Amino acid sequence: MTSHQGERALVVVAHPRADSLTTKAADRVHRRLKAAQYEVDLLDLYAEGFDPRLETADEPDWKDPGKTYSPEVRAHMARIDAADVIVVVFPVWWFGVPAIVKGWIDRVWNHGFAYGAAEARLAGKRMLWLGLAGGASGGYAEAGLSGAMDTQLRMGVSNFCGIEDAELRLVHDTETAAGEQVLAEAETTAADFLFGEAVEG
């Protein structure tokens, strides 16, 4: 495995239960990155008590890309700034991200920081959206749901904010498959994007 010593990764996880498959999958990704010698920042939105509501302090000012946002948002922006790679691990709810992730995007990926500035501040980073979905992949593809999520997250957030090397990967059948099978697939899927390799063993 190639060493990534000196590189930083931000792993964002969004699930209210610490024993959920989502949280366990994020832990697998965390450990995989650590094994590759990344410095890893684990951001558990629920455990850290992140407030997804956008209040006036963090409302974008379209005329002022240099607006000073709330201390909480500035702290989250700094964590994104510090990362070379960002991995967001989430359960697919209503064929999208949980509300807490949407709020994190609304508040933190804000005007003047993630977009709207003279230079693309986040350009050069890599980003993986890793979703755990209860339904089968065939059903998602047939209904256009996976494509819609890809458009929203990869194109509408990552690419729009200057992150060209971004992907949405979904791990399906989480309601019916064995837990270890789901976790192994999540780890393999993440490793394929992050390192271009499958998990050995």
Read off the pLDDT of residues 190-200 as tens digits, 9 standing for 90 and up: 999 999 865 44
Domains in the chain, ordered, with CATH?
8-195 (3.40.50.360)
Average pLDDT over residues 152-170: 98
Rounded to 5 degrees, what are φ and ψ at 58?
A: -115, 10
Burial class (CB in 10 A: 0-12, 13-18, 19+), 51: middle
What is the residue whose two structure tokens read 């979703």? Answer: 131
Average pLDDT over residues 29-55: 97
pLDDT band at residue 1 under the 50/70/90 scheme: low
Q: Which helix (H) or strand (E) holds 40?
A: strand 39-44
Read off the pLDDT of residues 61-102 as tens digits, 9 standing for 90 and up: 999 999 999 999 999 999 999 999 999 999 999 999 999 999
* Predicted structure pTM score: 0.94
Read off the pLDDT of residues 114-157 as tens digits, 9 standing for 90 and up: 999 888 899 999 999 999 999 999 999 999 999 999 999 999 99
